[in-house]
Structure 1
């Protein structure tokens, strides 16, 4: 393997390829830090799970931000949903927005499930996306309607539980990671982890009704993008 030297990885004794691979494993698959440590050990790479954690914290959000900038523009139909998560024995709410293609637009961990919390999510979405959707689809929680009237009054709003399966299905990967991690330790940790996890998932997401050949091409493009995002493309 040709080692890549980039200022981002200065003062790291391990090469960029190894660091980016460990970060990819941790955020792409439902693996604990110790599982990632063992998978690297199977390839002759001796690194502790604490080192993997430090790499994920240092590089994960930057990788996610670059992935977001490289993804196509979001669709004009947004699905919003919220799900309860337990953090240190207390209820919190994970608010998530996805477009009609299943791409996660953003997430927000909050301690409330009211209109104020819904407004925070909508304002964050507008700031990140830069444009309002044509249609907003939610369940029948009244907080969405109250927030929409203030933040996005001109947007069509459809409220029906059966229409919101895309957002609800998007929570399944979070539930899987929550089990592996034995619950999140704090709201900040959940926000940081899921902000990266969902963007990595977007990059490697397999759309529905895709044949094997198209999937392989899309996967190859995703790996090319990942190499660019992590600054290892020049060394490949």
Structure 2
């Protein structure tokens, strides 16, 4: 299983095979263990790698794998549910903006240090750029999220695309789908004992979200083990 070498940087080649690296990254983002626990798990498989190296692998490779997953996932429907949750980075709360469609498929996600109109607008711009414009977005009573969507509608009006206006619904109970989906992400992040830096938190959450999309079947690879789907995204 563990064969070949995996390029870790422009100047270095890992002393571990590609399969070893990807197995470690996948196991961490899928099962929410600590790096110390993962170090022990890898040792039991005959691979001696320290927890600091495992952290570098996750931070380095998760964002690129997530980008490929977003590009390959099946199209989402035109009715979305959007909300934000929070994670702790160096004793400070930061915000994970997330959207799913009405069937629960992941639309997009973005970690942000603020929870305001600018952050909400940036998230919607990113999500629409990756997935196209939805017909409807359900949000909670957040004024910032409402302002963000309103900014998008104003921009559509200015550009002359008034027929593409997004229907905005502020109905809390309709957002149960995305709120339930948050639980999976937070369940995995909790054993990780908090993040030490924003960039590592963002990269790790990229990996967690990717594993979650795979578990929901969004890559349309029925019968292919989740680990293999994750590995294929690495090329």
TM-score, normalised to structure 1, is: 0.82
Higher alpha-carbon deviation: 193-202 or 181-190: 181-190
Q: 1:62-101, aligned counterparts within 5 Å?
A: 62-101=64-103
Q: Distance in 1 between matches of 2:173 and 2:140?
A: 8
Cα distance, 1:25 vs structure 2: 0.3
Structure 1, unaligned runs of 5 or more:
208-216, 232-236
Q: CA 1:228/1:127 → structure 2, altered by over 3 Å: closer, same or farther?
A: same
In the alignment, is the contact (CA less than 8 A) between 2:82 and 2:139 conserved in 1? yes
Instruction: Name the SS for the 1:220 alignment partner.
Output: coil
Instruction: Name the SS for the 1:86 alignment partner.
Output: strand
Cα distance, 1:219 vs structure 2: 4.7
Instruction: Name the SS for the 1:203 alignment partner.
Output: helix
Cα distance, 1:86 vs structure 2: 3.3
Q: Distance in 1 between matches of 2:75 and 2:133?
A: 12
Q: Distance in 2 between matches of 1:53 and 1:89?
A: 19
Q: CA 1:70/1:222 → structure 2, altered by over 3 Å: closer, same or farther?
A: farther
Cα distance, 1:224 vs structure 2: 4.3
In the alignment, is the contact (CA less than 8 A) between 1:67 and 1:199 conserved in 2? yes
Q: Distance in 2 between matches of 1:111 and 1:52?
A: 25
Cα distance, 1:30 vs structure 2: 1.2
**Alpha-carbon deviations, 1:159-197, whole Å to 9, x = none?**
111100111112112322332122222333322221221
TM-score, normalised to structure 2, is: 0.83
Match of 2:144 in 1: 143
Q: Distance in 2 between matches of 1:172 and 1:105?
A: 16
Q: Distance in 2 between matches of 1:21 and 1:40?
A: 9
Match of 1:170 in 2: 181
